[in-house]
A = this chain, B = another copy of it.
Amino acid sequence: MSRLASLSVSDFAAALASDAPAPGGGSAAAAGGANAAGLLAMVVRLTLGKEKYKSAWAELAPLVDRLDDARTKLLELVDEDTKAFDAVLAARRLPKETEAEKAARGQALDTANVLATTVPMQTAFFAHEALKVAPLVLDKGNPNAASDAWAGALAAWAAVGAALANVRINLPGVSDPELQRGFREDATLMEKTAAEALEKARALARTRGLAA
Q: Which residues of A contact B (CB under 8 A)?
A: 1-2, 4-10, 12-21, 24-26, 28-29, 31-32, 34-39, 41-42, 45-46, 49, 67-68, 71, 74-75, 78, 144-148, 150-152, 154-155, 157-159, 161-162, 164-166, 168-169, 187-188, 191-192, 205, 209-212
Which one of B17, B31, B146, B169 lies within 8 Å of A9 (CB-CB)?
A: B31
Nearest-neighbor residue (CB-CB) of A169 within chain B: B147
18 contacts between A and B (CB under 8 A): A1-B10, A2-B10, A7-B8, A9-B75, A13-B75, A17-B39, A18-B45, A19-B46, A21-B42, A21-B46, A25-B39, A25-B147, A25-B152, A28-B148, A147-B166, A150-B162, A151-B162, A168-B211
User: Which residues of chain B have C-beta atoms less than 8 A from A36's C-beta?
Assistant: 28
Taking chain A's interface residues, is the majority helix, strand, or loop, or is none over half, making it mixed? helix
Work out how many copies of this chain go into the complex: 2
User: Which residues of chain B have C-beta atoms less than 8 A from A192's C-beta?
Assistant: 212
Which one of B147, B155, B165 lies within 8 Å of A147 (CB-CB)?
A: B165
Nearest-neighbor residue (CB-CB) of A74 within chain B: B13
